Amino acid sequence: MSETAAPGGVVQKPRRTLTRAVIRFAGDSGDGMQVTGEQFTTEAAWAGNDISTLPNFPAEIRAPAGTLFGVSSFQLQFGSQRVHTPGDQLDALVAMNPAALKVHQSDLKPGGILIVNTAAFDQRNLDKAGYAKNPLEDPGLGEKYRLYQVDISGMTKKALEDLALNAKEKERCKNFFALGLVSWIYTRPLDPTLDAIKKRFAKNPLFVEANTRVLKAGHAFGETAEMFAEHYGVEAAEMPPGLYRSMTGNRALAWGLLAAAERTQIPIVFGAYPITPASSILEELAMHKRFRVRTFQAEDEIAAATSVIGAAFGGAIGITASSGPGIALKGEAIGLAVTAELPIVIFDIQRGGPSTGLPTKTEQADLMQALYGRNSESPVVVIAPCTPGDCFYIAYEAVRIAIKYMVPVMVLSDGYLANGSEPWLIPDVKTLPDIPVKFRTEPEGFFPYLRDPATLARPWVRPGTPGLEHRIGGIEKQDVTGNISYDPENHDHMVKTRAEKVRRVAQEIPPTSINGPATGDVLVVGWGGTYGAITAAVEEAQLEGKAVASVHLRHLNPLPPDLGQILRQYRRVLVPEINSGQLVRVLRAEYLVDAVGYNRVSGMPLASQDILEAINQLVEAKQ
Amino acid sequence: MSTVTGVPGAAQGGAPKYTKKDFESDQDVRWCPGCGDYAILSAMQKTMPDLGIPREDIVFISGIGCSSRFPYYMNTYGFHTIHGRAPAVATGLKLARPELKVFVVTGDGDGLSIGGNHLLHVLRRNVDVTVLLFNNRIYGLTKGQYSPTSELGKVTKSTPMGSADRPVSPCSFALGAGATFVARTVDRNIAHMEETLKRAAQHKGAAFVEILQNCNVYNDLAWNVLYDRESKVLHELKVQHGKPLVFGPVDDRRGLVLDGVKPKVVKVKDVPESALWVHDETDRATALVLAHLWAPDYPIPLGVLAANAGETTYEEILIQQEQKSISERGPGDIAKLLVSGETWKIG
């Protein structure tokens, strides 16, 4: 990475090398903190760091300025070693106003960098944040943290003095001053941001000029202002070689579907109703019509689910996406897909609940809903991605399993994976497994519920095929013929058959990979978006010499065939989850193992330090 | 037929020759003896050969209720789905397969109560489906509770002192939702049903047909005003495009005139013919006035109340967008997409 040459006469400041850093940008909803964080992420990615991000914003679109509940933030951890999580405690916090300081200060490490925009610390904002007196006047703040009081707004205005922009437009550039400053502190390259500014404001050269100036002004301020004595470097991480891009979970889900559509050569019908945090999948897919994706913004969640069932009946890939509340509404429709034995995929981007709950925050409490949240015996395949980039593979795999077994497949992502991003090694799509699609066309011997002996899948028939006209529906049907049947023996047989079909998906599950020793004191079992936090905690425990391993489940129904055996190789089993103990119950019921949970349901990702503590407690509980 | 493009049979030189029997499935029909649904089924099966569509390109989709058993009895593709959701299932099917001819069969409870939302949206989007709503003003399959079309004060098992809610008019609802074809017919007039069903099926876009249907078990003779011979002569108004709206006994013909926007019943012999209201099915405003008329003050209009031919359908627009996107930017290429935007190389 090239250092920007210091302006004439300025002494080059010393640079210290770090292995990782955790930074949070925090400000008002309208302060552009998400853009700032995303841009810094791109800069760190260019510098070759491994990265994990955590955008965190209020459900209100434009919450009243200056309020505590209107604070929006973007956190990331970047490092020269593998980075598993966005980090627990902050090395640096940028607080654009008093509310941001108040909300986030406690997460900053003692001695950490604290940059505040002094211009925003006026009486009005102090009142709104509930400060009786200006915290910047409290000498304790500067003693506890490395406090940098910077008039970000003022210097932004100054840099733009001669530009024909109004005061509001000038004020809106201030986030790039902060970005320029932090980019200097951590010596991340400005080039990607300069490029992004050009692209973003291509139609308005004045905005390009303004943002470029402010960004550079922030950078130059770090370089020249006496208050900054040193800055930091973080070397490139050792990552598998290849071409990388930044990937968020929701985009990865959408692109995984596109890959599946291209491979199968059948269209996708994606039916969804807008809901946080799933809406961006619909928006992303709507941009890719040339992949033969037909997006349908349905009138409600039920129509979203039933429309894709109609599409699957017609021989297309039917996908719907929602979050917990919407999945609840789709329940009856999913049951129809179970009994009609049609291949649909349901994405559940979990968020805090119950009811409306915490729409923009993450949670893992829909596992039971995915497994059991429908009337009667209604088994579906349930799988879960473990990182934002993994969402690409999980979406592709969901389509493959749904078609092969003619079953609904539910994918449990979450708000953290959906919006979080990571550097993602771009795969060679040719290496993805094949998704064979065979529509039945042969009328001879046809029945709608004939079964493939290996998968128990029934034939997929496209309407329009002569001689195969048939009727299916939600009423119980006789196996093979598909005729309506109320026969008790047949119903029992069909219930078992539908369950067995899902059970046979276990054939698709590769041997479980164990992170750590094959036997030991504690096995940590996780699923979904907690992968990073668990891995970081387990690796830390291993460094401390403890006999601890972890497995992370991508398949939740059916469970991996080798899991029972693995669980028995450890003295204790710990299951950290962002719910009140859902997987742990499944494991206890399924394997009669005395697994215990670590559960914290705060709307935020689990902290790896907390998981480490839970591991240590179990290890120490040993005689 | 202009509505169905890419029909294999049609492409291979003309429509297949079918008879009614070709559309009868091998399933035992399980409606109560005497149910009006039998006549509708028969009329539908009889109409099918006239449509000239290959049987394999036809799909019947239904929700839940007595009417919704319909697909099992049609020897076409069929899907008996869940309560109220047939319009949404049909929409998804049309998105996947715009070339199919899709019928939705529903009832007054399925279509206007639990599924009212979906009916509204399938009609306003102008999805190319033919919706047949069997209106018997009662819940039959759940054994006799009042429905959203039951009259105010209806005494049923769930309303022993009479219902407190006012009924919805299905045709007014459909017009309000923006259906491009709205018609009404009655189960005891086979010829009129066949004619109406055929026109509805041939309409491109969302077609809505209210079929007044008798539930002889839970709501017998609910439509007696149109069954009873004397009453029928007095109240039945068969509307025909371009013809004056006249009804009543041969020796005492009545007609409708419009006084501003207010309809009035007059004796035909009392007014010059030019004063009579001439039915224009392309005019949605007057169709809405017609849909509101009911006995005893007014006649009950039967037939095609509104028909707007040539409107673009929902799926046509989406497919056009897809084709435009492909022709402008080429078909999707996932390998290219993956490396688009910001990327960087490591190692």
Residue ranges covered by each domain of chain B: 8-222+312-327
Work out the minimum CA distance from A46 to partner chain B, whole angstroms.
Answer: 6
Sheet holding A293-297, edge to edge: A293-297, A268-272, A317-322, A344-350, A409-414, A381-383, A555-557
d(CA A566, CA A519): 8
Q: In A68-218, at which residue ranges do the beta strands (DSSP E only) sit?
A: 71-79, 90-95, 108-117, 146-150
- B343 → closest Cβ in A240, A243, A292: A243
- Residue A264: CB atoms within 10 A of its CB come to 18
B87 interaction partners in chain A (CB closer than 8 Å): 303
* Paired strand residues for B265: B256
- Residue A143: CB atoms within 10 A of its CB come to 10
d(CA A494, CA A479): 7
Q: Do A471 and B96 touch (CB under 8 A)?
A: no
* Rounded (5°) CA angle A391-A394-A400: 145
**DSSP per-residue codes, A132-155:** SS-GGG-HHHHHHSEEEEE-HHHH
Q: Is the dihedral of CA A220, A222, A223, A225 positive or negative?
A: positive
- Residue B252: CB atoms within 10 A of its CB come to 11
d(CA B62, CA B72): 10
Asked if residue A614 and residue A536 are part of one domain, the reply reads yes
d(CA A595, CA A304): 38
Residue of B nearest to A286 (CA): B322
d(CA B255, CA B237): 9
* Rounded (5°) CA angle A65-A71-A76: 145
Q: Do A309 and B81 touch (CB under 8 A)?
A: yes
Q: Do A45 and B344 touch (CB under 8 A)?
A: yes
Residue A8 covered by a domain: no
- A311 → closest Cβ in B76, B81, B96: B96
Residue A481 covered by a domain: no
**Architecture in CATH of B8-222+312-327:** 3-Layer(aba) Sandwich (3.40)
d(CA B173, CA B165): 16
Work out the minimum CA distance from A43 to partner chain B, whole angstroms.
Answer: 11
Domain boundary among A399, A431, A463: A431
Residue of B nearest to A256 (CA): B334
Q: Do A294 and B96 touch (CB under 8 A)?
A: yes
Chain B, 187 to 206: residues with Cβ < 8 Å from chain A are: none
| CATH number, domain with residue A585 | 3.40.50.920
Q: Exposed, middle or buried by CB within 10 Å (0-12, 13-18, 19+), for A532?
A: buried
Q: What is the pLDDT of residue A623?
A: 46
Residue A81 covered by a domain: yes
- Residue A621: CB atoms within 10 A of its CB come to 11
Count CB pairs under 8 A between chains A and B.
Answer: 212
* Nearest residue to B205 via CA among B310, B287, B119: B310
d(CA B80, CA B64): 7
d(CA A449, CA A461): 11
Q: What is the pLDDT of residue A59?
A: 83
Q: What is the pLDDT of residue B1?
A: 33
Q: What is the pLDDT of residue B11?
A: 41
| CA distance to A396, A572, B45, per residue, from A388 (Å) | 14, 29, 53
Domain boundary among A387, A409, A431: A431
Q: Which two tokens stand for residue A23?
A: 């930074």
Q: Which two tokens stand for residue B115?
A: 């599924």
The domain total for chain A is: 3
Q: In A419-490, at which residue ranges do the beta strands (DSSP E only) sit?
A: 421-425, 471-473
Chain B contact for A442 (CB, 8 A cutoff): no
Sheet holding B181-186, edge to edge: A471-473, B77-80, B58-62, B101-107, B129-135, B207-212, B181-186, B300-307, B236-238
Asked if residue A257 and residue A380 are part of one domain, the reply reads yes
Kindly give the confidence (pLDDT) of every residue in chain B, 347 residues in length, as a single tens digit, with 9 standing for 90 and above.
333 333 444 444 456 799 999 999 999 999 999 999 999 999 999 999 999 999 999 999 999 999 999 999 999 999 999 999 999 999 999 999 999 999 999 999 999 999 999 999 999 999 999 999 999 999 999 999 999 999 999 999 999 999 999 999 999 999 999 999 999 999 999 999 999 999 999 999 999 999 999 999 999 999 999 999 999 999 999 999 999 999 999 999 999 999 999 999 999 999 999 999 999 999 999 999 999 999 999 999 999 999 999 999 999 999 999 999 999 999 999 999 999 988 999 88
Q: Which two tokens stand for residue B211?
A: 């079929």
CB hemisphere CA count around B123 (13 angstroms) = 29
* Nearest residue to A355 via CA among A279, A275, A431: A275
Q: A502 — phi, psi (to 5°)?
A: -65, -40
Residue A493 covered by a domain: no
Could you report the per-residue pLDDT of A399-420, keeping only the tens digit for each? Answer: 999 999 999 999 999 999 999 9
**In contact, A340 and A347? CB cutoff 8 Å:** no
d(CA B282, CA B305): 9
Q: What is the pLDDT of residue B9?
A: 43
**In contact, A291 and A262? CB cutoff 8 Å:** yes
| CA distance to B55, B56, B310, per residue, from B7 (Å) | 10, 10, 19
Q: What is the pLDDT of residue A57?
A: 87
Chain A, 220 to 239: residues with Cβ < 8 Å from chain B are: 236, 239
Residue A471 covered by a domain: no
Domain boundary among A234, A254, A272: A234
Chain A contact for B97 (CB, 8 A cutoff): yes
A302 interaction partners in chain B (CB closer than 8 Å): 85, 88, 118
Chain B contact for A331 (CB, 8 A cutoff): no
**DSSP per-residue codes, A475-501:** S-B-TBT--B---HHHHHHHHHHHHHH
Q: Do B326 and A473 touch (CB under 8 A)?
A: no
Residue A509 covered by a domain: no
| CATH number, domain with residue A260 | 3.40.50.970
Enumerate residue ranges in chain A where pLDDT < 70. Answer: 1-11, 622-623
Helices and strands in chain A: count of H runs, count of E runs: 21, 22
Q: Which two tokens stand for residue B248?
A: 């009543």
* Rounded (5°) CA angle B210-B213-B217: 150
Residue A371 covered by a domain: yes
- Residue A287: CB atoms within 10 A of its CB come to 12
Looking at A341-429, list the stretches that DSSP marks H as alpha helix, in order from N- to C-terminal side: 367-372, 390-405, 415-419
- B92 → closest Cβ in A46, A296, A428: A296
Work out the minimum CA distance from B98 to partner chain A, whole angstroms.
Answer: 10
Residue of B nearest to A332 (CA): B82
Residue A4 covered by a domain: no
A315 interaction partners in chain B (CB closer than 8 Å): 96-97
Question: Is the pTM above the cut of 0.90?
Answer: yes
Work out the minimum CA distance from A221 to partner chain B, whole angstroms.
Answer: 28
Q: The domain containing residue A594 runs over which residues?
A: 520-620
Q: What is the pLDDT of residue A61?
A: 78
**In contact, A534 and A576? CB cutoff 8 Å:** yes
Q: What is the pLDDT of residue A13?
A: 86
